[in-house]
Structure 1
Amino acid sequence: MSNKVNIGLAGIKIGEIASDGGMGTSLEQIGVTNQGSCKINFEDAEKKEFFVEEYDDPFHVEYTQGKINIQYQIANPDIDTIVKVFGGSKSGSGPSEVYKAPDQSVTIERSMEITPKKGLGFKFPRVSITAKFTPDIGKENLLMLDITASVLRPTKDGEPRFSMFKVA
């Protein structure tokens, strides 16, 4: 038996969801990930127990899948990255480049791929992305983007909410 491990992070990519509602195929990395910040949280399934008067034990149990959330920090955001995760717009170029935040909340849905350095990677066909700036700024802190992605049900029939792939 070989010793297989999942370790490291080679990159996180996002891109447009495929036109049929499946996994996007044109994904890009939009920055580097702050060390130790990437977390994939698989919540426990929710359990609903049904009881009847005649028994103390549950008569029937129903389960609902737990949510999946991804969190990470982009350590080197630029204006293009900010537009991709916050919405809004960019004007100008070079030193006169300016980011303009949206007036209202924007829903950003994308496909996401997380690739480790070794082991098994994840593909999420549809995630809802929210972003915020880290609060600390100064000589000893990088201004980063805190990214949270909530996994959603793909709109393509038969598409799983996530799949995994081997990294050579």
Structure 2
Amino acid sequence: MFKKVFLAALALIGSVSLANAQEVFHKGTTAINAGIGLGSYYSGITIPPLSVSLDYGVADNLINGNNGSISVGGFAGYTASSHTYGTYKSTFSYIALGGRGAFHYQFAPKLDTYAGLMVSYDIASASSNSDYAGASVATSGINWTLFLGGRYFFTEKIGGFAELGYGFYNLNLGVTFKL
């Protein structure tokens, strides 16, 4: 009995604090993320996926008049690798430039959670040399990425972020700044 009452009281306190919490990300908010990717889809990475992204709030108060917002923004990322085996050397580089949009929902104070889609123009190049022959190839194209993320603000303007994604990285961790 005591356990049920305790859990009910905890749920009530949590819902009241969320209802009174001001949105962390709303219309007019600009956030810049600088991150480093972990668990890249590319093997033998010498330079891990480095990225910078920007999110700008264009709509807010979409759910119950006090939560839920939409952002649009941009993304730039770079990763590279280099391998040497005796006289054989190979290099690979990958650049992603894209636009992204996300839906933000605040579950707790100071925590901005979001899910989104990015469409990017990706440029990949690879080259190799050996005693016998050398080769290089470059390709580019349109790619899409789904991502799920969260930002926790330690102060009103500075926080940390984490994003799970399909595309440029598996997990992106870094710092975020609100302008």
TM-score over 0.5 for the pair: no
The structure having more radius of gyration, on CA atoms, is: 2
Higher helix share: 2
Higher strand share: 2
Q: TM-score, normalised by structure 2?
A: 0.29
Q: TM-score, normalised by structure 1?
A: 0.30
